[in-house]
A and B are shown apart, each in its own frame.
Chain A
Amino acid sequence: MKAQPEKRSTSGSAQVSARTGDAELLRAVAAGSEPAFAELRSRYRPAVGRVCAGVGVSEREDCEQEVFARVWRKAALFDPARGSAAAWLLTLARRTVLNLQASRRRTPPPTNDEPEPDPVDPAEVEAFWLEAALERLSERERAVIELAYVRDLSEQAIASRLRVPLGSVKSWKRRGLNRLASMLGEESP
C-alpha cells in the first residue's frame, strides 16, 4: 500500500522547502498541499520508521504508510497551541503502532485513535524531531555531522574519508550545526 494522498477539493498551493517549519507544513497539508505532504513525509520518514520498528520487520513498511496516510487525513486536527508538530506526529505514529499490534493480536484497538496533545516523553519528542531536522540539512552537512558524532571522527579524519579539503569539512559542520540550532529555536519540540 502506498500512502498517496487522496485528491481534495483544495489542491493547496503553499510554497514549501527545507526551510519551511513543521507546523507550517502540517497546516499546508491540512489545506490539501501535496508538496507540503511530500516534504513532511521525506523529513519524518526515518523517524517514523524507527517508531514503526516496534511492529516487526514484515509490517514496518505498512506501518509507515499507514502513519502518513493518517497524517494526510488528520492534519487539520493538529493544534500548535497544544504541542509541537513533532509531538503530534510521534503520538500519531505511536498510536498507529498500537493499533497495528492490537489488530495482529485480534484484540479491539483503542477506541480513540486521535492523537492526544503531549502524552510522550519530551526527550523522545526531541529525538524524534532531531531525526527529521537532520533530513533538512544538505547531504554534505548531514554526512559530516553523522561522521563527527556517530563515528566519532575528527574533522581531519572526515576530510580524509570524504576526500575533501579540511576547510570544507569545517564549513559544512559549522553550517549544519548552526542550521539545526536555528531550527530548534524556530520550533522547539
Chain B
Amino acid sequence: MRHEDAWTRLPDLLDDRDDPALLAHVQICADCQRQLFLLARIDRLLRDRTAALGSRHPRMRLRSRPVLAAAAAIVAALAALLALAASQPAPAHALTFHTGSGEAVGQAVMGHSDARNVSVALSAQHLPIGRGKVFVLWAGDNARSSMQVGHFMVDQNGGCRVRFNLPADHTWGHFWITRPGAPSAIIART
C-alpha cells in the first residue's frame, strides 16, 4: 500500500474496520503511527464533546459503537514505543492469560488512569503468529457485558507490551484475546 493511500485511510481504523494492508503499512511507518495516535485523541475529544452536548441536550443520541476501537488500533501500532514500567502506578491487580492448553502467554495489569478511565497494561509473550501478528483484546465485566478493547500487534516472538484505557464505570474482571474477525475463537483468556 502506498503511503499516501494509507495516510488518507487512517481514519477508517477509528471505525474498527479491519484492513490488514493498512495495518501492515502502519506497523512500519512512523509518520502513520503518529497520525493514528493523534486521530485517536481526536476521536476521544469528539466523543467527549458529544457526551457533553448530550448532557445539555438529553434527546441527543450518543454513539453506541464499540468504544476505544480507534485507540486500540493506535496503541497496537505504537506497541513498540510504549514503555509500561515508567508510568505505571501501583496496580490494583494482575490477571494472567492462559491458552486452552494451559500455557501462560501474558498478563493484564489493571491500574488507575484518571477519573473516567482505568488502564490495562497488556504484556504478552509467545502468542501464536502463524495466522498473523494482529490480535484483539476484549474485556468483560461482572454484569456479563463485554467490549472490544482494541487491536494490538505482536513481534516475531508473539510478544508485545501495550496499554489501553477502559471506562471506569464498569468493573472489568476478565479479558480474552482473539484474532480480528473471529470473536468466538478465543486464543487466550484470563
A182 interface residue per 8 A CB criterion: yes
Contact partners of B138 in chain A: CB under 8 A: none
Chain A contact residues: over half helix, strand or loop, or mixed? helix
Establish whether residues B47 and A178, one from each chain, have CB atoms under 8 Å apart when the complex forms.
no
A130-B49, A177-B42, A184-B41 given; A152·B64 CB < 8 A: yes
Q: Does A166 contact B (CB under 8 A)?
A: no
B52 in the interface (beta carbon within 8 A): yes
Q: How many A-B Cβ pairs are below 8 Å?
A: 61
B11-A173 in contact (CB<8A): yes
Q: A143 on the interface (CB 8 Å rule)?
A: no
- Interface hits, B15-48 → A, CB 8 Å: 34-35, 38-39, 41-43, 45-48
Residue of A nearest to B12 (CB): A174
Q: Which residues of B contact A126 (CB under 8 A)?
A: 45
In angstroms, Cα B8 to Cα A131, docked, is: 23
Q: How far, in whole Å, are A127 and B47 apart by their CA atoms in the complex?
A: 10
Contacts of A57 in B (CB 8 A): none
- Interface membership of A159, Cβ < 8 A: no
Question: At the interface, yes or no: A108 with Cβ under 8 Å from chain B?
Answer: no
Q: Which residues of A contact B43 (CB under 8 A)?
A: 177
What separation, in Å, do the CA atoms of A174 and B9 have in the docked complex? 7
- Would you give the shortest CB distance from B69 to chain A, in whole angstroms? 14
Asked if A178 and B45 sit within 8 Å, CB to CB, the answer is: no
Q: Contact check, A178 vs B11: say whether CB atoms are below 8 A apart.
A: yes
User: Which residues of B come within 8 Å of A, CB atoms?
Assistant: 7-12, 14, 34-35, 38-39, 41-43, 45-50, 52-53, 60-65
Query: 3 closest pairs, A vs B, by CB?
Result: A181-B38, A177-B11, A149-B46
